[in-house]
């Protein structure tokens, strides 16, 4: 039996699609993962000019940066029906959630690796293969991710166990996650847990809050790498600051 297949996915929207698609950032996101993915999918969510964005996506496909691009709106109704989730139940969190659900619905491989568009691996350390080995051995582990800090202090504090490579505990973030597709392609997104109320109010009943509640209700855990970490920096909506962020990404080509 061979190593499990993995899909890489990320997403863009009106505020950041040019930064991801025109600067080389998307290729760096994929390359820094140090893995040969079965599929590399870009999800396009809530953009104004679909034709213009589609042309940029087609160029990335021709260059083999990605294997496909999906407009989330085209699948949203089918996705919500499949997972038995009502759009109104997000209470403001719909656009923070619909791509993630669409990615899971659309995934055809054993595992799915998700990065938000404003997240990037901070060091080129192999963590995916080791994570999958842990997940294959321990079905209590539902998700794996790199550390969200360069040093592991917070991850260590939140863990209940650890080994040489990982911290193990509760928690879930939509900034980056590696999951078994079969575990997530189920109607698991309507549960609540008091501990999950810590997520930002502005996000409403968003995807990561729902997953966290499911994990806590069923005593499922995540592992966080001790060696790999990611960097999360929001792209500004201020045109001047965003132009500077764009220029920085171009300079890294």
The answer to whether residues 86 and 79 touch, using CB atoms and an 8 Å cutoff, is: no
Q: Tens digit of pLDDT for each residue in 124-178?
A: 889 999 999 999 999 999 999 999 998 778 999 999 999 999 999 999 999 999 9
Q: Look up residue 54 and give its two tokens.
A: 């589609």
Q: Convert 78-95 to b/e letters by CB count within 10 Å (16 or more is b).
A: ebbebbebeeeebeebbe
Tell me which of 152 and 53 has the higher pLDDT: 53
- pLDDT at position 151 is 79
> Smallest Cα–Cα separation from 207: which of 222, 221, 196, 194?
196
- pLDDT at position 3 is 87
Q: Tens digit of pLDDT for each residue in 63-104?
A: 999 999 999 999 999 999 999 999 999 999 999 999 999 999
Show the domains of the chain with their CATH numbers. 6-251 (3.90.550.10)
Helices (DSSP H) in 83-176: which residue ranges? 98-106, 128-137, 153-158
| Element at 212 (helix H, strand E) | helix 207-217
- pLDDT at position 153 is 83
CB-based burial of residue 61 (10 Å sphere; 0-12 exposed, 13-18 middle, 19+ buried)?
A: middle
CA distance 215 to 165: 22
pLDDT band at 2 (very low <50, low <70, confident <90, very high): confident
Looking at every residue in the chain, the average pLDDT score rounds to 95
Report yes or no on whether pTM surpasses 0.75: yes
């Amino acid at each position: 039996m061979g190593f499990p297949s993995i899909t890489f996915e990320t997403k863009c929207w009106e505020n950041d699609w040019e930064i991801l698609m025109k600067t080389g950032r998307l290729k760096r996101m994929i390359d820094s993962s140090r893995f040969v993915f079965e599929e590399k999918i870009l999800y396009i969510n809530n953009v104004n000019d679909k034709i213009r964005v589609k042309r940029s996506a087609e160029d990335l496909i021709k260059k083999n940066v990605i294997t496909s691009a999906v407009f989330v709106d085209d699948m949203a109704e089918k996705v919500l029906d499949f997972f038995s989730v009502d759009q109104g139940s997000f209470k403001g969190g719909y656009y923070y959630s619909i791509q993630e659900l669409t990615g899971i619905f659309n995934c055809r491989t054993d595992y799915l690796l998700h990065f938000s568009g404003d997240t990037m691996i901070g060091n080129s350390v192999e963590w995916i293969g080791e994570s999958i080995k842990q997940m294959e051995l321990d079905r209590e582990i539902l998700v794996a991710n790199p550390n969200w800090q360069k040093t592991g202090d917070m991850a260590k504090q939140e863990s209940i166990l650890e080994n040489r490579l990982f911290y193990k505990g509760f928690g879930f973030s939509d900034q980056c996650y590696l999951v078994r597709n079969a575990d997530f392609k189920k109607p698991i997104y309507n549960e609540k847990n008091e501990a999950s109320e810590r997520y930002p109010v502005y996000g409403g009943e968003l995807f990561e809050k729902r997953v966290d509640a499911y994990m806590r209700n069923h005593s499922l855990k995540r592992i966080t790498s001790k060696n790999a970490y990611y960097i999360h920096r929001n792209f500004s909506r201020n045109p001047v600051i965003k132009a500077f962020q764009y220029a920085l990404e171009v300079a890294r080509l």
